Amino acid sequence: MAVNAIEINNLVRKFGQLVAVDGISFNVQKGEIFGFLGPNGAGKTTTINILCTLLLPTSGNAYINGHDVVKERRQVQRSIGLVFQDPTLDDYLTAEQNLIFHAYAYGVPHDIREKRMSELLELVQLTDRRKNRVATYSGGMKRRLELARGLLHHPQILFLDEPTLGLDPQTRRLIWDHINTLRQQENLTIFMTTHYMDEAEYCDRIAIIDHGKIVALDTPKFLKDSLGGDTVSVQADNHEQALQELTESFHLAPIVQNGMINFSVKQSDTFLPEFMRSFRSGLRSISVHRPTLDDVFLKLTGRAIRDQEASAWDQMRRMMGGGMHG
Amino acid sequence: MKMAEELRGIWVIAYRDLLRFLQERARLLSTFAMPILFLIIFGAGFKNVIGPMAPGVDFVQFIYPGIIAMTILMGSLMSGLSIVWDREFGFLREVLVAPISRSSIVLGKIIGSTIVSLGQAIIMLVLAPFLQVELSLILILKLIPILIIISIAISGLGILIASRMRSQQGFQLLVQIVIMPMTFLSGIFFPVNNVAVWLSVISKLNPLTYGVDAVRQVFLGVTTAPAQAIGVTIFGHTMGVLDDTLIVVGLGALLVILAVISFSKQD
């Protein structure tokens, strides 16, 4: 029987009165990219710290590669590679020295080390900077170096805690290219957190944590579908007539908001052509909004993935969402 | 196998501290600044004031061994500072998630800072000829083990403090509160027997006093110097090099054990 990459059973961590992680359970399969999303302070970092042996759980168990994170720390540490959101490189040393430190610390034999270092540096495109001090690196270069370092000891599971936070779009793109290449080469399981919706889309499955509890766990597609389909907004010549037609002929539940008529349909791509053909009230405009993970996140946690202020659109969708599912 | 793994862990921690130290030229220079400053200020400035309290030896020759001990003290505290530093700049996480036990990390840090501070103390020996302090190979060979023992003890203290400190400022503050009085009340600058009783008592309670005394006795030679006047006397017994060393060894063992316990305590 195949062992799960990560198994978490009823994990609890308290800090005094505060319950940071409140009895979470889930498994991550081997080879999966697993997204762990949640608002700031929801318990993400606490969970990751427990999984990588930096923090003890108050109760419950967690297994990495079948090894208990409390009782078999050494095996757990050997199984995992980490890229934290805050840099953990020694700025005063060169890239090469940082990697050598890591190789020694994990007991990577000398001959394998040299080969592996060259390969990984080549892959993250830092070969020409390997003799430079890390202090001279940009934020994106540091993150790439951390990625290379995290993989130096051939871990089976890679933890990426906000791997691209604060980086520009090109660099984020580059880092993701590296992650995808490496994932295929090394048959890695990836456990990641992110504040970027497009990165969450890369995940095979996503767990959303809020107030220390898992509030949703499914594939990105399923999570989005669970919102009840796409939202169509139309402006008609005559709202009264249009509303009547939508209700009676199309059996929809339209709502008027900000001068727009909104309604939701399961599959807008097949619905729209048919709708355009047979809708008799005059149309002035039509627009479609397909649900995003941000919408899912917003609905479940009441906050946007990125801690931005909810726009008018978001607020409307939230109200509609409540109406549709309430 | 297991043992080899621990030794490798200890070595890599020490190695990185050494590597890093060599790269930080500014720090390399700054660790000498304080001892040399004290040597100049006290040696020249207070020579005629404190000098008569240490009869039988030239005052510069009296404080010079103390300054060597002080160099060790300053260098050894870097063990703690480097932990606090690593914690603040994130590198400590890289160390803590690596398959290295906490006690190996502590031992590695102690070894690293002991090598660094021993190196610094040896560099300070270059000043000896200019101060008419006699040096011989035998003296240096006797000196090194004592300096190592002092350095291990103080490194342990540094890590003990650092294991509970979250910021550099906090560490520096505690260092100033604890270390500055320890330095001044350790017999580096005046013989602890020839001062007011209260000052003498506090100094004799200070473990560093015995480290300083051991170093000084090695330099001055117990037989040639008027040991009664300069050495540390407890209840009429004048401490010899061995007595001093045993006290530092005992204290060092205690500090290192406490450092390991404190640093291993997991959140």
Evaluate whether A49 touches A221 at the Cβ level (below 8 Å). no
Burial of residue B261 (CB within 10 Å: 0-12, 13-18, 19+) is middle
Task: Give the range among A99-113, A147-161, A200-214, B227-241 with minimum mean pLDDT.
Answer: B227-241
Does the domain at A6-218 match CATH 3.30.70.2740? Answer given as no
Burial of residue B138 (CB within 10 Å: 0-12, 13-18, 19+) is exposed
A-chain residues within 8 Å CB-CB of B97?
52-54, 77, 80, 82
- Yes or no, beta carbons of B20 and A82 under 8 Å apart: no
Q: What percent of chain A has pLDDT over 90?
A: 46
DSSP category for residue A84: -
Distance from CA of A236 to the nearest CA of B (A): 58
Residue B176's pLDDT is: 84
Give the B window 5-24 contacts with A, CB below 8 Å. Answer: 5, 8-9, 11-12, 15-16, 19-20, 23-24
pLDDT along chain B (267 residues), means of 10: 85 91 77 83 75 73 88 88 90 93 95 93 87 85 94 94 86 85 86 82 87 88 57 74 90 95 87
B-chain residues within 8 Å CB-CB of A54?
93, 96-97, 267
Instruction: From residue A99, give the alpha-carbon distance in Å to each of A87, A105, A107, B50, B109.
Output: 14, 10, 12, 53, 19
Evaluate whether A11 touches A57 at the Cβ level (below 8 Å). yes
Residue A312's pLDDT is: 46
* Beta strand segments in A204-245, E: 205-210, 213-218, 230-236
- Yes or no, beta carbons of B94 and A53 under 8 Å apart: no
* Beta strand segments in chain A, E: 6-15, 18-28, 33-37, 59-64, 67-68, 80-83, 157-161, 189-193, 205-210, 213-218, 230-236, 255-257, 260-265, 283-289
Torsion, Cα of A7, A9, A13, A17 (10° steps): 160
Written as six digits, the tokens of A142 are 């540091």
Instruction: From residue A146, give the alpha-carbon distance in Å to each of A31, A96, B75.
Output: 21, 12, 31
Q: What angle do CA A260, A303, A174 make, to 5 degrees?
A: 100
* Beta strand segments in chain B, E: 233-234, 237-238
SS (H, E, C) A253-284: CCEEECCEEEEEECCHHHHHHHHHHHCCCCEE
Show me where the domains of chain A are located: 6-218, 223-325
Of the candidates A290, A272, A284, A268, the one whose C-alpha atom is nearest the C-alpha of residue A234 is: A284
* CATH of span A223-325: 3.30.70
- Yes or no, beta carbons of A84 and B91 under 8 Å apart: no
Of the candidates B74, B92, B75, the one whose C-alpha atom is nearest the C-alpha of residue B16 is: B92
| H or E element, residue B159 | helix B137-162
Evaluate whether A229 touches A222 at the Cβ level (below 8 Å). no
Confidence tier at A104 by pLDDT (50, 70, 90): very high
Judge if pTM exceeds 0.90: no
DSSP category for residue B188: S
Distance from CA of B86 to the nearest CA of A (A): 8
Chain A residues whose C-beta is within 8 A of a chain B C-beta are: 52-56, 73-74, 77-78, 80, 82, 84, 86-93, 97, 101-102, 104-107, 133
- Yes or no, beta carbons of A88 and B90 under 8 Å apart: yes
Given CB atoms, is B94 within the 8 Å cutoff of chain A? yes
Q: What angle do CA B210, B212, B215 make, to 5 degrees?
A: 110
Residue A320's pLDDT is: 47
Distance from CA of A101 to the nearest CA of B (A): 7
Q: What is the CA radius of gyration of chain B?
A: 19
